[in-house]
Amino acid sequence: MEEMKKLLFVCSGNTCRSPLAKVLAERIFQEEGLEGWEIDSAGTAALHGMSASRQAMSAASALELDLSAHQSKPLTQEAVSRADLILVMTAAHKKVVLSLVPQAAGKVYTVAELAGAAGDIADPFGGSVALYLEVARELQKHLKTIARQLKTNGLPRRGSALDKEEEGRREVKDENSTGQ
């Protein structure tokens, strides 16, 4: 039997975005017939054992998903090393992952980046249920795109077009920051 691939979602507190992404991905992967994935979530500044926020639970419920069993957990080097693909909510989260495990560079992407979009997934923390639902729908849209890409192309590979594009952005940034 083929070994399960591991997908890790990362946000800050692991009580809003990444738990929503996890349950959304579980459903979307099932709907898309994408099998063999173990999906988890963690937070760069998470405490251990916190439930999902009330608003995240309400947004999940509105999408017929359940976050009642969620328990937050902090991001660890082990979790990063074990994952085959790491999807983070923001560029700042990507930096934290890479500071923990620099060798993860070929497997960590922002959700938007892997879906071919720009920008970060905004943190709805403290906002209304409507804001959480908006974030959940944005995640849902991106995750449908990602699921189809994974089904068609498999895992993104180091040296892929996305990595080259990211490398180009870094080079431009480096050029802009020199000589000042």
Strand partners, 10: 42, 88
Neighbours of 27 (CB within 10 A): 15
pTM to 2 decimals? Answer: 0.88
- Looking at the structure of the chain, the number of domains it has is 1
pLDDT at 158: 61
- Is 11 among the catalytic positions? yes
pLDDT grade for 1, boundaries at 50, 70 and 90: low
pLDDT at 11: 99
Range of the domain at 41: 5-177
pLDDT at 17: 99
Q: Is it the case that residue 154 has pLDDT exceeding 90?
A: yes
73-99 tens-digit pLDDT: 999 999 999 999 999 999 999 999 999
pLDDT at 180: 37
| 107 vs 165: CA distance, rounded Å | 15
Active-site residue among 40, 120, 123, 163? Answer: 123
Tokens coding 116: 């071919």
Alpha helices in the chain (DSSP H): 17-31, 54-62, 77-82, 91-100, 111-114, 129-153, 161-177
29-74 tens-digit pLDDT: 999 999 999 999 999 999 999 999 999 999 999 999 999 999 999 9
- Is 17 among the catalytic positions? yes
* Those residues with Cβ within 8 angstroms of residue 123's Cβ, 6 or more apart along the chain or in another chain: 11, 12, 16, 17, 89, 90
CATH number of domain containing 35 = 3.40.50.2300
